[in-house]
């Protein structure tokens, strides 16, 4: 429970949060609003600059195209028309054509930009530049540029393609390119380079955008680059398409400090795509506003907290003294006087006055209470007699009738007690194993951690009755050895224990372990009623263990009976001597190798022991006949699994084991007996038993056959996989046998 100072600070904190949280949220909303406003303002300014830049560039660039492209088209068409079926011109677009071409181009009336050079190129059908007066481009593979080569491939013979100003692949200089496809599929290309085009584009950009021009990318007609990075990815194209649809710039924020503006401006002379990366420092303003608001709110919170601490100190001292007086007051200290309290707080003074009056009334009432208490004690004794009778009726809980495993039974009892004791902080269920406590279930503790401690069980075996103990301080930790206390986390896990309730678990012949429950000072405390409940359960546990031990004795008698029957079989059929034990060991060992649980492996062991028990009912003369059996005799021998099932299957405890035996001569291909089951219709355990039985039979020496060596036996198992044996189990069997062989001999041997 919190003290007054903590409670007052907590209340003030909640009150302040009620006011501060809306202020912080409002500040955040205002900051975001300012940021959005600044973003939109930046977008508006940059959009206007982009529009102005396009207007600045459009006139001279368009004039170049409008003046030169018609002349180029006429020259190309005229030259191509000379190349006809009469072969008037054997080599079209030759050097003489280029001389005429250059002369015609220089006559065009255009005084804004001077022509620097005019080059030609011949491009093969595969996209390779194989001839050019611009030597740097010879050998250039244009097919690598999908955005450009795809357009040229679509040209028909004689078709002319007049491009806009575009950058040269190797130098990056802007040229006015033109193309025509010749009959031999060669593409003829000319490129006109103007002086000062790039300088004009750059100077205009720097004039309008300033240093931001270095982050500008400019395309015309979607894929012809004029300035900036040479390739656009799909995301860039999507943003430009959005700009075209909305007819305005699209501002995309990468983070709080950087953004990219996409703008597609359509003109009557084509579309201009612009992408501008810009740093956006306005975010610092919004973040600064929010941080400043948060700092102001936090500063006021600290001031309020300091003032509340002063008020709390003024009030805490008299309240603490009053609390001490109330705590110290008890009928066992009737003559002690309370400490005087001096305070100027009217409410505290009133409480103190009322306490003194109440104290006087309580003392006067004590005599009456003592008389009433005597009557209550008589009632308690009567209730105790009634409770004892109820406990006698509860002496046989339901789960005694269906749980036969000691560990499972103790876990259920432990959990039942946890339900009864409800608010108990910790609980442990432990068994003694090799002199150590093995924890099988816990409440509030880690079972794995406790088992790692390997706690010595000897000191706990002194308890022979239910014990309820109290502890003070670190006294409980002293129950453990110095080695046990060194485990990391141990001290923290036991430091607050102040009570323990210990139920020893033992029978007449054996001390098994304990069920233990712990409480802390902060939790509820164990009562006399809890103690009586624990005593009842301990008596019940002892009764169960005695019954369980008698049951185990009965099982031992049953085992001896089975072994006696096997020895009788060996007298009847000497060749089975040792065979049953071998099959049992192999079957159970293989079950463990496959990862089956211990009970299933044990069932396989007993199935191996009794698998030939039905042969007792087969005549001795047939079992030991040295000659080949007649069909009738073999049919009789094939009945031995059913004979075993008919006898052993009557036992409730061995009915399932008898079922494994009944089908252990079934074959995976369905040609076994007694019922001709096939594949997975055969019980899984019967398929294991078939492998173990066959393996031992192969290896045995008989009068009428020689035993197979190791490799011959392995080959026999492999050969019959999917025929007699489950193929997957046969594969595992070979691995299992190889593992056993290596463990025994250390290396391969016959």
Encode pLDDT of 181-235 as tens digits. Answer: 998 889 999 999 888 777 777 777 777 877 777 778 877 666 667 777 666 778 8
Q: What angle do CA 217, 219, 223 make, to 5 degrees?
A: 125
Asked if residues 666 and 686 have their Cβ atoms less than 8 Å apart, the reply is yes
Span 104-114, average pLDDT: 84
Mean pLDDT over all residues of the chain?
A: 77
Are 687 and 668 within 8 A, CB to CB? yes
Domain assignments of the chain as residue spans, ordered by start: 22-62+199-282, 64-195, 398-551, 573-745
Query: Which range among 111-120, 422-431, 531-540 shows the weakest confidence by mean pLDDT?
Result: 531-540
> According to the 3-state scheme, what is the secondary structure of 327-369?
HHCCHHHCCCCCCCCCCCCHHHHHHHHHHHHHHHHHHHHHHHH
Q: What pLDDT is recorded for position 389? A: 33
Say which residue, 87 or 485, is predicted with more confidence: 485
- For residue 587, name the pLDDT band (cuts at 50, 70, 90): very high
The pLDDT-based confidence of 669 (bands split at 50, 70, 90) is very high
Separation between Cα atoms, residue 333 and residue 516, nearest integer Å:
36
Dihedral (CA of 49, 54, 59, 64) sign: positive
Q: Are the C-beta atoms of residues 718 and 734 closer than 8 Å to each other?
A: yes
Q: Please give the backbone phi and psi of residue 24, each rounded to the nearest 5 degrees, phi first.
A: -65, -45
For 535, phi then psi, to 5°, come to -60, -45
User: Over the stretch 506-543, which tens digit does the pLDDT of each residue have?
Assistant: 777 778 888 888 888 777 788 888 888 888 777 777 77
H or E element, residue 129: strand 129-132
Question: The tokens of 612 are what?
Answer: 């030939």
Strands in 258-267's sheet, in edge-to-edge order, are 224-227, 216-220, 270-279, 258-267, 250-253
* 3-state class (DSSP) for residue 214: helix
Residue 103: partners with Cβ closer than 8 Å, 6 or more residues away: none
Output the pLDDT for position 666.
93
Pull the structure tokens for residue 380.
């308690």
How many other CB atoms sit within 10 Å of the CB of residue 586?
A: 24
Q: Residue 400's Cα: distance from chain center in Å?
A: 41
User: Residue 702's pLDDT is what?
Assistant: 61
Summarised one tens digit per residue, pLDDT across range 602-611 is: 889 888 888 8
pLDDT of residue 251: 80
Residues above pLDDT 90, as percent of the chain? 14
> Does position 164 have pLDDT exceeding 90, yes or no?
no
Domains 22-62+199-282 and 398-551 share a fold: yes
The rounded percent of the chain whose pLDDT value lies above 70 is: 71
pLDDT of residue 65: 82
pLDDT over 90 at 425, yes or no: no
Token output for 332: 């066992």
The yes-or-no verdict on residue 505 having pLDDT over 80 is yes
Mention every residue, 6+ apart, whose C-beta is less than 8 A from residue 229.
217
Q: How many angstroms separate the CA atoms of 205 and 116, rounded?
A: 22
Q: Answer yes or no: is pLDDT of 115 > 80.
A: yes
Report pLDDT for 252. Answer: 80
Q: What pLDDT, on the 0 to 100 scale, is given for residue 402?
A: 47
If one counts every other C-beta atom within 10 angstroms of the C-beta of residue 257, the result is: 13
CATH class of 398-551: alpha beta
Residue 241, pLDDT score: 85
At 392 the pLDDT is: 39
Concatenate the DSSP letters of all residues of 78-107 into one string.
HHHHH-STT-S-SSSS-HHHHHHHHHHHHT
Residue 86: pLDDT over 70: no
**CA–CA separation, 508 and 301 (whole Å):** 70
Tens digits of residue pLDDT in 126-160: 999 999 998 888 988 888 877 678 888 889 988 99
User: Quick check: 711 and 718 in contact, CB under 8 A?
Assistant: no
Q: Which CATH number applies to 64-195?
A: 3.30.450.20
Note the pLDDT of residue 686: 93
- Structure-block tokens of residue 126: 């595969």
For 451-528, list the strands marked E by DSSP. 467-470, 497-506, 511-520
What is the tens place of the pLDDT at every residue in 547-570? 666 555 555 545 555 655 565 555
Q: What is the pLDDT of residue 463?
A: 79
Q: Which residue has the higher pLDDT, 160 or 256?
A: 160
The residues near 174 (Cβ < 8 Å, ≥ 6 apart) are 165, 166, 167, 168, 193, 194, 197, 198, 201, 226
The tokens describing 71, both together, are: 């002349």
Domain 22-62+199-282 has CATH 3.30.450: yes
Q: Which helix (H) or strand (E) covers residue 435, if one does?
A: none
The token pair at 337 is 């006087």
Q: How far apart are CA 453 and CA 567, in angstroms?
A: 47
How many Cα atoms are found within 13 Å in the side-chain-facing hemisphere of 110? 22
Is the C-alpha dihedral spanning 674, 677, 678, 682 positive or negative? negative
As separate numbers, helices (DSSP H) first and strands (DSSP E) second, the chain gives 21, 15
The whole-number pLDDT of residue 333 equals: 54
**139 or 300: which carries more pLDDT confidence?**
139
Mean local confidence (pLDDT), 108-116: 83
Residue 483's φ and ψ, nearest 5 degrees, are: -65, -40
Express each pLDDT in 301-356 by its tens digit. Answer: 677 767 766 666 666 667 777 666 676 666 555 556 777 777 777 767 777 677 67
Residue 78 has pLDDT above 80, yes or no: yes
Report the pLDDT value the prediction gives residue 750, as an integer from 0 to 100.
46
Contact between 67 and 297 (Cβ < 8 Å): no
Which tokens belong to 96? 């003489």
Give one DSSP letter per residue of 283-297, joined into a string.
HHHHHHHHHHHHHHH
Residue 62 reports pLDDT greater than 90: no
Q: Please state the pTM of the whole predicted model.
A: 0.35
Topology (CATH) of 573-745 = Hypothetical protein af1432 (1.10.3210)
């Amino acid at each position: 429970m919190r003290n007054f100072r903590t409670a007052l600070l907590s209340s003030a904190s909640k009150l302040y949060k009620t006011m501060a949280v809306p202020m912080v949220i409002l500040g955040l909303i205002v900051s975001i609003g300012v940021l959005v406003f600044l973003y939109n303002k930046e977008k508006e300014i940059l959009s206007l600059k982009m529009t102005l830049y396009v207007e600045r560039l459009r006139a001279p660039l368009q004039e170049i195209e409008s003046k030169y492209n018609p002349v180029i088209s006429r020259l190309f068409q005229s030259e191509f028309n000379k190349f006809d079926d009469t072969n008037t011109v054997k080599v079209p677009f030759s050097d003489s054509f280029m001389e005429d071409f250059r002369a015609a181009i220089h006559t065009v009336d255009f005084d804004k930009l001077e022509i620097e050079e005019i080059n030609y190129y011949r491009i093969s059908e595969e996209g390779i530049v194989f001839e050019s007066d611009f030597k740097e481009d010879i050998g250039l593979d244009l097919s690598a540029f999908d955005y450009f080569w795809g357009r040229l491939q679509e040209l028909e013979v004689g078709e002319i393609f007049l491009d806009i100003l575009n950058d040269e692949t190797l130098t990056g200089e802007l040229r006015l390119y033109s193309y025509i496809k010749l009959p031999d599929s060669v593409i003829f290309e000319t490129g006109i380079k103007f002086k000062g085009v790039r300088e004009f584009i750059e100077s205009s950009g720097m004039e309008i955008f300033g240093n931001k021009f270095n982050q500008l990318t400019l395309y015309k007609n979607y894929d012809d680059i004029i300035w900036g990075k040479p390739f656009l990815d799909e995301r860039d194209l999507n943003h430009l398409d959005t700009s075209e649809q909305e007819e305005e710039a699209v501002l995309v924020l990468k983070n709080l400090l950087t953004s990219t503006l996409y703008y597609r401006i359509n003109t009557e002379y084509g579309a201009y795509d612009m992408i501008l990366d810009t740093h956006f420092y306005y975010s610092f303003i919004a973040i600064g506003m929010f941080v400043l608001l948060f700092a102001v709110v936090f500063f006021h919170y600290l001031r309020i907290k300091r003032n509340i601490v002063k008020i709390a100190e003024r009030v805490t001292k008299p309240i603490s003294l009053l609390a001490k007086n109330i705590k110290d007051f008890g009928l066992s200290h009737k003559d002690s006087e309370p400490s005087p309290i001096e305070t100027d707080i009217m409410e505290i003074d009133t409480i103190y006055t009322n306490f003194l009056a109440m104290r006087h009334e309580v003392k006067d009432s004590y005599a009456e209470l003592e008389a009433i208490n005597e009557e209550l004690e008589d009632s308690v004794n009567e209730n105790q007699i009634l409770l004892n009778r109820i406990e006698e009726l509860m002496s046989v809980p339901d789960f005694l009738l269906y749980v036969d495993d000691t560990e499972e039974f103790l876990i259920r009892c432990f959990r039942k007690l946890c339900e009864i004791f409800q608010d108990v902080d910790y609980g442990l269920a432990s068994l003694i194993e090799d002199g150590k406590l093995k924890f099988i279930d816990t409440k509030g503790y880690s079972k794995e951690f406790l088992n790692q401690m390997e706690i010595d069980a000897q000191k706990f075996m002194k308890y022979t009755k239910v014990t309820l103990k109290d502890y003070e301080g670190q006294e409980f930790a002293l129950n453990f050895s110095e080695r046990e206390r060194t485990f990391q986390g141990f001290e923290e896990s036991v430091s607050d224990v102040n009570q323990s309730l210990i139920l020893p678990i033992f029978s007449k012949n054996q001390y098994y372990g304990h069920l233990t429950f712990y409480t802390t000072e902060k939790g509820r405390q164990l009562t006399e009623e809890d103690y009586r409940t624990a005593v009842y359960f301990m008596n019940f546990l002892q009764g169960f263990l005695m019954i369980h031990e008698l049951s185990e004795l009965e099982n031992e008698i049953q085992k001896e009976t089975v072994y006696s029957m096997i020895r009788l079989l060996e007298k009847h059929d000497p060749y089975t001597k040792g065979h049953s034990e071998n099959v049992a060991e192999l079957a159970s060992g293989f079950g463990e190798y496959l990862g089956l649980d211990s009970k299933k492996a044990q069932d396989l062991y007993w199935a191996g022991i009794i698998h030939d028990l039905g042969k007792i009912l087969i005549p001795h003369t047939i079992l030991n006949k040295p000659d080949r059996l007649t069909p009738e005799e073999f049919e009789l021998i094939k009945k031995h699994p059913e004979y075993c099932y008919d006898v052993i299957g009557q036992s409730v405890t061995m009915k399932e084991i008898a079922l494994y035996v009944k089908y252990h001569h079934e074959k995976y291909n369905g040609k076994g007996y007694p019922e001709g089951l096939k594949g997975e219709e055969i019980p899984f355990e019967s398929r294991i038993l078939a492998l173990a039985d066959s393996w031992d039979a192969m290896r045995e020496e008989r009068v009428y056959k020689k035993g197979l060596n190791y490799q011959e036996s392995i080959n026999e198992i492999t050969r019959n996989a999917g025929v007699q044996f489950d193929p997957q189990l046969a594969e595992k069997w070979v691995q299992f046998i190889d593992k056993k062989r290596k463990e025994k001999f250390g290396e391969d041997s016959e």
